[in-house]
Chains A and B, each alone.
Chain A
Amino acid sequence: MTKFLDWMPVAASDYAKEVDWINLMITTAAALCILAVTAAMLFFAWIYRRRAEREHSAYITHNYLLEVLWTAIPTVVVIAVFYFGTKSYVAARTPVKNALEVQVTGYQWGWDFLYATGKQSTNELVVPVNTPVRLVLKSRDVNHSFFVPALRLKEDVLAGAYHYLWFTATRIGEYPVFCTEYCGLSHAYMQGKLRVVSQADYASFSQIEQTHEMPVSEAGQQLFAAKGCMACHSVDGTPRVGPTLKAIFGREEKLVDGSKIVVDENYLAESLKQPNAKIAEGFAPNMMPSFEGQLSEQELEALIAYLKTL
């Protein structure tokens, strides 16, 4: 019976098991509803089948009590399902502090992964078991979607912005990764792998062999110095012409127009390209030059990676 209703692939995280439970609950309830309605329909069809051309049928036009009941009950049921489904999902979307971060780039047709150590891999994402992981997704061309069935998670990777996924894998193994947003000719070949390994294996995997390749954030630090950012932005908390960048990432910033914003990759990238778009409170506009076209995508990423370490 369960196999008949439940075709979910193996679950690689605790969250996936939670989703499976919600899914099974909905599927079972749905199956019961379908069975009940169908049984009632067939039962009526059988006992009220026409036996003679002239036979009595009842003149019933409505029944308010019944109608109120069968409006109210489905309402309560769906709101309950909504509650459970949303609760788990929101928990899974809430960022975990100090998560291991991996930069994911989707392109026609493959996935590139860049780890904090500077290690890179293509079409194979390697993460340590029992460790919170945060994926920062972006696309180099058209829309893609990063789908890991074993984690019951996907997120579209839409051109022009960063997107995020969080998860903690709890089961060592290899799991398929699919692109689930149609992206052209070889969309069907845009398949990858998620490899969940022990923490020790991850440590040796993420080590990079050559010493001349430096971690991304370090490259960012050099850029930070080379572009003269320190002239206006301190990294120790003292405000200068521009706001300090100490603990900038994840900070809630109040803007001149009174609104608030949580600093994330999108905000940092925007502030680098269009500094006047969102000015922090207490600072003047038109002070910072735009770096639009001055920084390559890699340099932009390196800078952001560095800013996160502050």
Chain B
Amino acid sequence: MNENTANEPSPPLNYLTAERGIWSWWMSTDHKRIGLMYLGSMIFFFFLGGFIALAIRSQLFRAGSTLLAPQSYNVAFTIHGVIMIFLFIVPGVPATLGNFLLPLMIGAKDVAFPRMNRLSYWIYALGALFAFGALFMGVDTGWTFYAPYSIQNRWGVVTMTLAAFVLGFSSILTGLNFLVTIHKLRCPGMSWNRLPLFVWTLYATAILQVVATPVIGITLLLLILENLFGVGVFNPAMGGDPVLFQHFFWFYSHPVVYIMILPSMGIISEIVPVFSRKPIFGYKALVAASIGIAVISVLVWGHHMFVAGMSDAARIAFSLLTFLVAVPTAVKVFNWLSTMYKGSISFESPMLYAMAFIFLFMIAGTSGIHLATLATDAHYHDTYFVVAHFHYTIQGGAVIGLYAGLHFWFPLIFGRVYNEKLARLAFWMVFIGFNGTFLPQFALGMEGMPRRYFTYPAEFEPLHQVSTVFAFLNGTGYSLVLLNLLYAAFRGKRSPANPWGSLGLEWSTSLPPPHDNFERIPVVEDWSYGYAQPQTAVRLKQMEEASRAAQLHQGPQTPHEGPPRHMQPEQAYDAAKLGMWIFLGTEILLFGGLFCAYIIYRLANLELFATASRHLSWPLGTLNTVILLTSSYFMARAVSRARSGDNDGIIRCLDLTLLCALAFLVIKGFEYAAKFEHHLFPPPNIYFGLYFATTGLHALHVLCGMGVIVWLRGLAENERFSKTYFTPVEMGGLYWHLVDVIWIYLFPLLYLI
């Protein structure tokens, strides 16, 4: 840039204008740009999924309709589910508004790992590509992929589940990034009890993402292997148990509902105080409720299987636990209501969406009681009652919450305002259309209409017709929202500073924010809900001034590459360490799923496992164990060399580690070759299915570890490490030790007992 033309006033730059061109977006590590890219992709999929939903509703307009062929209908509801769940609402609020707002709300310049954040978007794009490919492969299993229907060796299922697997990876990276960001990057004064409630819900969500996603990862991986090689774990013909698939699947897929809904609840907790000009009521209770929901949510997956052959005792236990979720959700509703009490309430579109959320969520929650009750669930299970309940929770809850947030933070994101009248009109179309679509479906469920039927007995027709008509109103409403916001993003009027009079930290920077968010890291002196106090007006005034000042002082900024500039060195070290440990936790959970399957099947087939394990050569296994332990020793040496700044020492130790790893893989290769020779692959029984799945996955980890070592070696050769900076070596070492520890568990399980 030309620095000498100081007399020429440069236009105020922000994150949108800091750099131009699609490539600058794709390569950006700016959390705001990544959030927007997520938003764009997700809105695209939301409308694609919605379009398919309208095709489904059109088919159901009449009993015996032939608008869609049966197979096309089955494919359509599968695609609708997969798109809406995996490509739209699972990344959902965290990936879009969460990415955009989290650093702004806690006074940070970016998330802890900006490049990992970009990687998570790239992975999302890759997953979307797979899913898109699978769209044309006629997958008709439903988004739940229940075995054994899903293991009939079809490439469509493999591609689709691979997509979901890849998307899960992206979700884990986002969750991990957020956890570390919230722990390590809060600005001075942003203590835990001042943390905005939206951030608290992102925190609870991130925990769920990190804890539950690895389990679906291993489940989908086993399903893929089942389709490709016949592992047997989910295949009753090989002694596998289709119920185990359901347990694994719902262990993730129930908490995922809360991954979808919790951040939307957080948005409501932000909006209601601003528009009521009152502090949020019961801050601590709301935080406790978010964490409580997250904790209970991993204990209730069994209610998806009340009629799926579980023992009666398990049914009763899961029923009781499920009822308990109702309590924290009820608490949230009461708190929002009390926030409005004695307020000074205005009703711009964000508040309308927030109030709609409360109403719709009441219906979603109370219809959940019908489904938690064993006696009524046996009737409602897998009927339209469930369809209605689910859509009230997810569309009425998560999606309406997302739209509330979009309308609320729109001026911050784009620095412009949308047409409020049009926004309200669109809101009412969405609201009426939504209720008209799904209220009749509760009645249909009571009548006994099963889900996933492309045609139905004639007595269900009137309610289906009502539902279809309103679905089109619902869709038109969403289109109007989109048009209004799209127009405003490019051509809308400039927004004044802090248009809603919010005390949130995010509004104290310019609209839209500069690339680095804040000129200098802010210092927080109070929580962001201090409305209705004498000093409120003064605080708002200061925020407005800060926002205007930020606008004036923006120089040209280019998104950066290389070592983190948004954190202090020791902060960066802490963040890397915490991030690595969380990542190791997800790896343990991933293998945990496999160990779990191993134990279940071993106990069920003691004899088979005992005889089959004799085919493995324990001397080779022992040798490999010794080799891996040695490699761990060299890795530890490498870290200690790094500590003392001995660059050559690092390289030497890494080479030795690499050598051990290579030896391990060669021996493994001989073992595999012997198995192939003895026709033990494809696996003849579950034991060998699990043997190849576990050791194969482990070998893949060894390969990844070797990749990491080669990368570290390259860094060392370029003399990038010093006595004070050797974080990558230490983190790489941790990963390598984990790979070894997993083998320590695999070895006795497979070879010795």
Partners in one complex: yes
Query: Is A33 within 8 A of B362, CB to CB?
Result: yes
Query: Is A82 within 8 A of B373, CB to CB?
Result: yes
Query: Is A160 within 8 A of B241, CB to CB?
Result: yes
Assess whether B701 is interfacial by the CB under 8 Å rule.
Answer: no
Interface 0/1 of B241-279, CB less than 8 Å to A: 111000000000000000000000000000000001111
Interface 0/1 of A54-70, CB less than 8 Å to B: 01111111110011001
Query: Is B374 within 8 A of A89, CB to CB?
Result: yes
Query: Is B308 within 8 A of A158, CB to CB?
Result: yes
> B148's contact among A19, A50, A142, by CB below 8 Å, is which?
A142
Query: Is A18 within 8 A of B375, CB to CB?
Result: yes
> A6's contact among B340, B381, B446, by CB below 8 Å, is which?
B446
> B447's contact among A38, A149, A184, by CB below 8 Å, is which?
A149
> A37's contact among B285, B337, B451, B456, by CB below 8 Å, is which?
B337
Query: Is A55 within 8 A of B344, CB to CB?
Result: yes
Query: Is B323 within 8 A of A188, CB to CB?
Result: no
Assess whether B342 is interfacial by the CB under 8 Å rule.
Answer: yes
Q: How far is the CA of A291 from the CA of B246 in the complex (A)?
A: 30
Q: Which residues of B contact A90 (CB under 8 A)?
A: 312, 316, 374
Q: How far is the CA of A237 from the CA of B616 in the complex (A)?
A: 45
Q: Interface residues of A, CB < 8 Å — how many?
A: 84
Interface 0/1 of B299-313, CB less than 8 Å to A: 000000101110010
CB distance from A43 to the nearest CB of B (A): 9
CB distance from B420 to the nearest CB of A (A): 15
Q: How far is the CA of A74 from the CA of B368 in the complex (A)?
A: 14
Assess whether A191 is interfacial by the CB under 8 Å rule.
Answer: yes
Assess whether A217 is interfacial by the CB under 8 Å rule.
Answer: no
Query: Is B450 within 8 A of A180, CB to CB?
Result: yes
Binds A, one of B126-134, B324-332, B622-630: B324-332
Q: How far is the CA of A109 from the CA of B37 in the complex (A)?
A: 45
> B334's contact among A7, A70, A179, by CB below 8 Å, is which?
A70
Q: How far is the CA of A22 from the CA of B237 in the complex (A)?
A: 40
Assess whether A173 is interfacial by the CB under 8 Å rule.
Answer: no
Query: Is A152 within 8 A of B453, CB to CB?
Result: no
Assess whether A225 is interfacial by the CB under 8 Å rule.
Answer: no
Q: Which residues of A contact B309 (CB under 8 A)?
A: 155-156, 158, 161, 163
Query: Is B378 within 8 A of A152, CB to CB?
Result: yes
Query: Is A57 within 8 A of B242, CB to CB?
Result: no
Binds B, one of A23-31, A127-135, A204-212, A226-234: A23-31
Q: Interface residues of B, CB < 8 Å — how many?
A: 93
Q: Which residues of A contact B312 (CB under 8 A)?
A: 90, 93
Interface 0/1 of A262-276, CB less than 8 Å to B: 000000000000101
Assess whether A159 is interfacial by the CB under 8 Å rule.
Answer: yes
Q: How far is the CA of A79 from the CA of B381 in the complex (A)?
A: 21
Query: Is B456 within 8 A of A188, CB to CB?
Result: yes
Assess whether A200 is interfacial by the CB under 8 Å rule.
Answer: no
Query: Is B282 within 8 A of A62, CB to CB?
Result: yes
> B279's contact among A40, A60, A70, A141, by CB below 8 Å, is which?
A60
Q: Which residues of B contact A188 (CB under 8 A)?
A: 70, 452-456
Query: Is A67 within 8 A of B282, CB to CB?
Result: yes
- Most A CB atoms within 10 A — which of B241, B312, B366? B366
Query: Is A44 within 8 A of B341, CB to CB?
Result: yes
Query: Is B376 within 8 A of A45, CB to CB?
Result: no
Q: Which residue of A lies closest to B152 (CB)?
A: A142
Assess whether B358 is interfacial by the CB under 8 Å rule.
Answer: yes
Assess whether B740 is interfacial by the CB under 8 Å rule.
Answer: no
Q: How far is the CA of A163 from the CA of B308 in the complex (A)?
A: 9
Assess whether B290 is interfacial by the CB under 8 Å rule.
Answer: no
Assess whether A49 is interfacial by the CB under 8 Å rule.
Answer: yes
Interface 0/1 of B601-621, CB less than 8 Å to A: 000111100000000000000
Assess whether A115 is interfacial by the CB under 8 Å rule.
Answer: no
Q: Which residues of A contact B446 (CB under 8 A)?
A: 6-8, 23
> A85's contact among B319, B451, B605, by CB below 8 Å, is which?
B319
Assess whether A111 is interfacial by the CB under 8 Å rule.
Answer: no
- Most A CB atoms within 10 A — which of B276, B282, B359, B451? B282
Query: Is A158 within 8 A of B327, CB to CB?
Result: no
Q: Which residue of A lies closest to B385 (CB)?
A: A7
Interface 0/1 of A113-149, CB less than 8 Å to B: 0000000000000000000000000000111010101
Interface 0/1 of B70-105, CB less than 8 Å to A: 110010000000000000000000000000000000
Assess whether B140 is interfacial by the CB under 8 Å rule.
Answer: yes
CB distance from A107 to the nearest CB of B (A): 13
- B window 382-438: CB within 8 A of A: 382-383
Indicate whether A62 sits within 8 Å of B342 (C-beta atoms), given known contacts A45-B347, A159-B236, A163-B309: no
Assess whether B369 is interfacial by the CB under 8 Å rule.
Answer: yes
> B373's contact among A22, A48, A158, A276, by CB below 8 Å, is which?
A22
- A window 1-26: CB within 8 A of B: 6-9, 18-19, 22-23, 26
Query: Is B340 within 8 A of A41, CB to CB?
Result: yes
> B381's contact among A31, A71, A82, A154, by CB below 8 Å, is which?
A154
- A window 60-101: CB within 8 A of B: 60-63, 66-67, 70-71, 74-75, 78-79, 81-82, 84-86, 88-90, 92-93
Query: Is B283 within 8 A of A61, CB to CB?
Result: yes
Q: Which 10 A-B pairs have the closest CB atoms?
A: A160-B236, A149-B448, A85-B373, A30-B366, A7-B446, A89-B374, A188-B453, A58-B342, A180-B382, A78-B323
- Offer 19 A-B interface pairs, CB within 8 angstroms, sorted by A: A30-B370, A48-B341, A50-B344, A57-B277, A57-B278, A59-B279, A60-B338, A61-B281, A62-B282, A75-B327, A89-B378, A143-B148, A152-B378, A159-B148, A159-B242, A176-B457, A187-B453, A191-B457, A274-B605
